[in-house]
Amino acid sequence: MLRLRIPPATKVTGILLKALEDIEAARNELEKKGISGGSAGKRVRAVVACQGNRVCRNGLIDCERLACIIDKKYFGEAVPKKLKIAVTGCPAACVRPQDNDFGIMGTVKPEVLEENCVGCKRCEKACKMGAIKVVEDKASIDTEKCILCGACIAACRKDALRAEKTGCTVFAGGKAGLRPKQGTKILELAEEKQLFSVLEKTFDYYRNEGLEGERLGDLIERLGIERYLDAIGRSPCDGDLS
């Protein structure tokens, strides 16, 4: 009997099997354990996710839960070309959501409580982007530089920084490979309801407008970002779309 001990969401490759019967036996054993095969061709691929806030101290969202919800609904669905989805817990972007057709990234908006700030500069030292400075013993955030990572909140020991809002920043149309393309930011600090609504509308748009063999990003480029944003109920004036 084939015995495999595999953690969730693991890619199983390189297993040497002697005959076709072995392949079928392996597949059957995996399915009994709730592990299905992968997806290839013009279909939605398996969702890629980092550990998120279940394991990583920098994680801002539950990546595994989101990935499982998305995977259960869309995995293996037919599309004009392959479609990759990635979920990452914070702006460190370990699974590179910007390089996927649809990328989800946990983000948090920090808020300064001046009455609690003692000017210790722990937050200033923790911010790798130089987005927070302590002036006259009070922390001040430069929103143009802030990447919504939450490092300043984690560093504060006086409750002078808190999460004003936690959500998801979403990118669409990215891809890697020979002709890489960075995805367009279409949502920032979005709640789950809005995230899933935009994802469903993105699928509808891709299926209805995409040409055979065309990636989502190429479709967006061909018809224009404004048309895509209109299809998902967004507009450039809704926020930073870059």
pLDDT above 90 (res 44): yes
- Tell me which amino acid residue 170 is: V
Nearest 10 degrees: CA dihedral of 201, 204, 205, 208? -170
Average pLDDT taken over every residue of the chain: 89
Long-range contacts of 175-180 (CB under 8 A, 24+ apart): 175/84, 175/99, 175/100, 175/101, 175/215, 175/217, 176/96, 176/99, 180/99
Q: What is the pLDDT of residue 1?
A: 39
Higher pLDDT, 238 or 155: 155
3-state helix, strand, coil split of the chain in percent (to 5) is: 35, 20, 45
DSSP structural state of residue 100: S
CA triple 60-71-188, angle to 5 deg: 40
pLDDT above 70 (res 205): yes
Domains in the chain with CATH codes: 20-238 (3.30.413.10)
Q: What is the pLDDT of residue 94?
A: 95
200: helix, strand or coil: helix
CB 88 within 8 A of CB 104: yes
Q: What is the pLDDT of residue 9?
A: 47
pLDDT tens digit string along 55-70?
A: 999 999 999 999 999 9
pLDDT tens digit string along 87-101?
A: 999 999 999 999 999
Higher pLDDT, 236 or 93: 93
Q: What is the pLDDT of residue 112?
A: 97
